[in-house]
Structure 1
Amino acid sequence: MEQQATAPRPRSIAPVDVEQAEAALIEHYPRLVRLGYLVLPPALGRNRRVLTAHALVQRALPRNRVGGAELTVPAPRGTDGVPSEPGYTYVRQRVLRAALDAGRPRGRWQPPRPGQLPPLLPRVWGLRLFPRSGGADELALDQALSSLSGPGRAAYVLRGLELSDDRDVRRVLSAAGVEDPGAALAEADGVRTPAGSRDTPLLESVEFDPCSLQARPTDLMRRRQHTRAALTAAAAAVVCATLLGLPGDGWGRDGAAAPPYAQNAAAEAALDPAKLTQATSSAWKSADRPGFATWPARGDRTGDRELLRRALAAWARPGRAVRVTATPGTPVGPASGPPQLLFAGEVDAAAVVLLHDGVRVVRYAEAKSGEAGAAALDFARTDAADADTSTAIVVGRTDGNVRYLTAPWVTGTAVRDLLAPAAAGQPLHRDAEGVTDATPSPAPSGGCRAWPALRLGSRLVTDLGELVPARLTVGAPGSPRDVAGAQALAGWAHSACHLQSVRSQGVRSVNAWQFATQPLPGGAGSAAWLCTRAETWRGAGSRVQAQFQVPGSRPGAPGAVVARAEDSAACGARDPHVLAGVLWKSKAGAWYALAAGSDDVASITATGGVRGSARGALLAVPARAGAHAELSALTTAGKKLTTLR
């Protein structure tokens, strides 16, 4: 009969006094904070994990002069560069136990443990702090660790950073309160180390270093709103108390919504949770055009009438405590009738409701506890959505990470870095309701070191800071296709960073069209000309860019934007033409004026500071540094073209 393996019993070591523990904490502070950061629950978000990890380490000293009475850990061995002094071993156990406790569920009346509430100290007002972004391998490992339980994550981190012997890992986990260390190690065994991590352990990279941070401001508009709300908080509290004390139903059940000012039969119908419409689970299979209207209602709180009532009331009449955002061109008025319910459930620390009225998707979010307080209401225009542009909706954002609710027809999800076109996509887990695990969102500002995109079946989408991600395509105007193949991914690698210019603009899709390939003078290879067109849900406000990509550029290097236009039909189905030019310097030091047009361009002419002409869609003439050329072209149909402006 096979004997069941059990965790080795922890062994006590000599008592540790405060001075000994403090010396170890100061000397090995970065190592301890990294350990706490990696073991803390990923749902806290990167900013809060950073501050909580520092707080846990700073609270790890013994309360009394001698702390050895509570210390039961393996005798230190000092292998693999791990500190061997008892003081470090003691502090490490305290940090590990506190980080694990932060992820354990607590009873209804049990007070929060350290790490389950935002730390009082350290505290940074007005800034978000998080580690610097790594590459695709670090992103993949972060996703893998996010899918583990707290003990499994601790086992993986201890094995990768601290202890090479699994017997020691079992003892440390057991001393930290893990009931089944063997199961934790088995869970850690299932983590696949991404390719490219053989030289230096990925756990030691800057992606997981909470002592090497970058700072960004918090939501400035939200801070202004909070300041204004604070000035009226006292008066609002008095008014609320007075209204709630009046006889009758009152309006407390509507949460953060403003009080009703008039009774209207249509408006009252739109506020009734019982009248919300819901699509059947198979409606999308038989629909002529699958879209948001064919999504079934999902989530574990679709039957919570009070939550739905608060969401509908906040939509109809948002109060001062409701933060309202909307994509450009999206009306924020109440629904004209009962809307459709898409989702109601808990996401991270919030209760979220997604609604759809045929023209807009609306997201309502409040604290998970349901207590009265601030709420958020986000609007996004989604009229004429089809199966290609209604693949996902953002259900939650936490410190640079985002979760999506995916369409019922999406068969698989994966994350890939657009700046690493040769790297394979990493699978992204979804729960039974179709909600994905948290995945990094492209940084809203700063250096463009990575650009995460989401593969939903065959479609590629990316988050541009709105409720609905933008679809990415390639191909000629009027016939865009999904991004697939090495050439298409390589083209988007040079264009991804330019997506920053269309964030929060209500973008529906962005198409990258390589309209010309031009041999460079002097045998310097061939350059690529691309036109990227961002189209919005509202029809107006499109943004067009022409890019020039020289040969030999490293993957992920942004192409040079040589022309741009707004509210232009160029590069689109209505006007599938483009003309662009650039001054280019050869390796020999000679300057040339280069120009290229779409396939149907019959001739190109340069005037002004550069003079020349050429038949066909390509032009290359000698020029002086800093010369300015006026370009024009004629198509085969006799239409005159000028450069984007």
Structure 2
Amino acid sequence: MQPQDVAPSPAPASASPADPVVDVEQAEAALVEHYPRLVRLAYLVLPPGLGRSRRVLTSHALAQRALPRNRTPAPVIPAQSTGGAVDPGYALVRLRVVRTALEACLPLRRRAWPTWSQLPPLLPQVRGLQLYPRSGGADELALDQRLSALSAAGRAAYVLRGLEKLPDDEVRRLLHAAGAADADAALREADEVPGQYALLGSVAFDPCSLQARPTDLLRRRRHARAALVAGAALVVCGALLGLPGDGLGPDGAAAPPYAQNPAAQAALDPGRLTKAGPAAWKTSARTDFSVWPARGDRTGDRALLRRALAVWARPGKAVSVSATPGTPTGGPSGPPRLLYAGTVDHARVVILHDGLRLVRYAEPKDGTAGAALDFTRTDGARRAEANAVVLGRADGNIRYLTAPWVTKAAARDLADPGAGTTDLTLTDGVTSPLAGPGQERSGTCASWNVLQLTDGSHTRLMTDLGELVPARVTTGRPGSVKDAAGAEALRTWAPYACSLGSVRGQGVRSVNAWEFATQPLPDASGSAAWVCTRAETWRGDGARVLAQFRTPGGDRGVVAAKAQDVPACGKRDPQVLAGVLWKSEGGHWYLLAAGGSDTESISATGGITGSADKNLLTVKAEQGARAELKATLEDGRKISGLG
């Protein structure tokens, strides 16, 4: 266990800066959550001489390239914002953005290969349009001119001061880590520019809020003519060299058939699709996806169903295929069950179920180009998990297909338990659009929208984690969890809702929050809460566990420890032990540790030594000290600290 530094006020951040290594998933969550801020940072550091359109695309490219390819050591520079410490994932991607932005400002050398950052970005690209930030006033223009006169490191120093609110010592360390030759000179340059830091938040420096203008129309026309001639030549050559055959034909975006296996061919026959009766779920011994009736306005569209089955069996190269971890992507072994076929916003969607997996096929309404195929495991689903399926996502909104037993649907902000619910309409089981979770405000997670479903006797919360099936949200001690729909459960989840972003795309089946201890704080600072959140997956392994710590007055929890694929805080082993290094308002440092109610004693060794009976430990410590935690349970078993 590595202790965690936590600022007591005003609001803790959502991750631990004491973790030695940043996971790719943690870096991705930070990049997605703070993307507008990171792109603005890159835009301000890049030289204005690039031109505003190329500067916009380059800033987006640098922010997107900041995602590391594997586990990466966290930078020693703490990431700060107006709210206090930020997670090491954000510190890492911010450092990578600054480093590549400084590289992009270097002049090309005749005898050296250019770096990726010095070349025009491969992605993103925009054809036929030039994109610019919105125009600002005279003050913004004057500031841009003053910044253009600075070196790249000088601009970075000014922006890190003003946009990131970093003190000079941390700016100096970050610039040094990013490869700046002389951080002190950069700070002196930044001193020459008036501190109009509020202007850095202007729309004039926002590469995510853009206006568009056409490129050179005459030159485009000449290029289009040349491309048309070349394309015609290729068509003629293809007609001469191509072999006769049926082509893609009725199978749409599917690849050509590679076998004539009778069983495989039978699985591709829309006439053999199985369908549950409208009332089958009322009398069946099972209440899962297998008893959902077929719904939608295209259940009789044999051509659409044929394409969906063919693409499932043989996805072509142009088909976008995704699958949650541990989900096989092979074709159906027999005729699957049809759950939905219909038009959703601007797409035609088919949902199929083969007993093990849910499969979603989607194609544009005006053709098959750009078809998508998504897989997710659902084996062992029960009524509590088989409540809804994502039909489509568009413009940040989600439409769900709900189970036939669902009688009411609503939207709720999990981060704000007092906000109430917003009713969603249900049309043949399809909800009206619901805003996706993790909405941003000022670069931070401001809300976490979830789907609330009622089936007459139970009310359940489901959260979208970027997959076909939303995850069930529960609270309580492992082994006796309940749906997080009551007032007390909602209050338990509120400070930790935004931490759900760390388990996106992991094949999560359910996620539980359990407040396992309340600890009095020294120096008369009130009491802190210890909460364990555990995300269970459909595949059974890969569970992610976070022990989070929240001080009085804090509206968000801080990750004190985390672990992957461990039984802790779960039904098989509900025990957990975690610790944090905490500074009181009086300036004193303490090691705080807590375990569940079954903990007999806790001890700390290493850089901090101490012990306590029962499940709470408080020991005076020094800043930066580290300790190893051990606990003895009432049954004599010994456990170690999480993480």
Same fold (TM over 0.5): yes
Q: 2:375 aligns with which of 369, 379, 383?
A: 379
CA–CA separation in structure 2 for the residues paired with 1:558 and 1:437: 30
Distance 1:323 1:238, change over 3 A: farther
Matches within 5 A, 1:175-254: 215=208, 246=244, 251-254=248-251
Matches within 5 A, 1:363-378: 363-369=360-366, 371-378=367-374
Q: Report the CA distance between 1:517 and its aligned residue.
A: 0.9
Q: Which amino acid aligns with 1:563?
A: A
Q: Report the CA distance between 1:443 and its aligned residue.
A: 4.1
Distance 1:235 1:373, change over 3 A: farther
Q: Which runs of 5+ in 2 are unaligned?
A: 1-125, 134-201, 211-230
Q: Report the CA distance between 1:256 and its aligned residue.
A: 0.5
Distance 1:438 1:642, change over 3 A: same
Answer yes or no: is the 8 Å Cα contact 2:392–2:399 preserved in 1: yes
Answer yes or no: is the 8 Å Cα contact 1:418–1:489 preserved in 2: yes
Answer yes or no: is the 8 Å Cα contact 1:244–1:252 preserved in 2: no
CA–CA separation in structure 1 for the residues paired with 2:316 and 2:609: 63
Answer yes or no: is the 8 Å Cα contact 2:412–2:452 preserved in 1: yes
Answer yes or no: is the 8 Å Cα contact 1:464–1:504 preserved in 2: yes
Answer yes or no: is the 8 Å Cα contact 2:439–2:445 preserved in 1: no
CA–CA separation in structure 1 for the residues paired with 2:390 and 2:233: 35
Q: Which amino acid aligns with 1:439?
A: L
What residue in structure 1 maps to residue 595 of structure 2? Answer: 597
Q: 1:393 aligns with which of 389, 393, 405?
A: 389
Answer yes or no: is the 8 Å Cα contact 2:439–2:448 preserved in 1: no
Distance 1:461 1:372, change over 3 A: closer
Q: Which amino acid aligns with 1:377?
A: L
Q: Secondary structure of 1:561's match?
A: strand
Distance 1:216 1:374, change over 3 A: farther
Distance 1:637 1:375, change over 3 A: same
Answer yes or no: is the 8 Å Cα contact 1:444–1:500 preserved in 2: no
Distance 1:241 1:443, change over 3 A: farther
Q: Report the CA distance between 1:576 and its aligned residue.
A: 0.9
Q: Report the CA distance between 1:335 and its aligned residue.
A: 0.6
Deviations 1:582-614 (A, max 9, x none): 112222222221111011110111111222111
What residue in structure 2 maps to residue 439 of structure 1? Answer: 434
Matches within 5 A, 1:285-296: 285-296=282-293
What residue in structure 1 maps to residue 336 of structure 2? Answer: 339
CA–CA separation in structure 2 for the residues paired with 1:236 and 1:296: 48
Answer yes or no: is the 8 Å Cα contact 1:546–1:564 preserved in 2: yes
Deviations 1:313-368 (A, max 9, x none): 00000111211111111111001000000000000010000000011100001111
Answer yes or no: is the 8 Å Cα contact 1:243–1:250 preserved in 2: no
Matches within 5 A, 1:456-535: 456-457=453-454, 458-535=459-536
Matches within 5 A, 1:50-199: none
The structure whose RCO (Cα within 8 Å, separation 6+) is larger is 2
Answer yes or no: is the 8 Å Cα contact 1:448–1:497 preserved in 2: yes
What residue in structure 2 maps to residue 7 of structure 1? Answer: none
Q: Report the CA distance between 1:486 and its aligned residue.
A: 3.1
What residue in structure 2 maps to residue 428 of structure 1? Answer: 424
Q: Which runs of 5+ in 1 are unaligned?
A: 1-118, 128-208, 218-232
1:618 equivalenced with 2:616 (yes/no): yes
Percent identity over paired residues: 59
What residue in structure 2 maps to residue 562 of structure 1? Answer: 560
Distance 1:210 1:376, change over 3 A: farther
Q: Report the CA distance between 1:526 and its aligned residue.
A: 1.4
CA–CA separation in structure 1 for the residues paired with 2:234 and 2:561: 52
Q: Secondary structure of 1:383's match?
A: coil
Deviations 1:509-553 (A, max 9, x none): 100011111111233221110000001111111100000111122
Distance 1:585 1:234, change over 3 A: farther
CA–CA separation in structure 2 for the residues paired with 1:393 and 1:239: 46
What residue in structure 1 maps to residue 316 of structure 2? Answer: 319
1:308 equivalenced with 2:285 (yes/no): no
Answer yes or no: is the 8 Å Cα contact 1:321–1:373 preserved in 2: yes
1:279 equivalenced with 2:276 (yes/no): yes
Answer yes or no: is the 8 Å Cα contact 2:439–2:446 preserved in 1: no
Work out the number of aligned pairs and report it.
424
Deviations 1:402-430 (A, max 9, x none): 11101111121111112211111111112
1:409 equivalenced with 2:382 (yes/no): no
Q: Which amino acid aligns with 1:393?
A: V
CA–CA separation in structure 2 for the residues paired with 1:574 and 1:600: 15
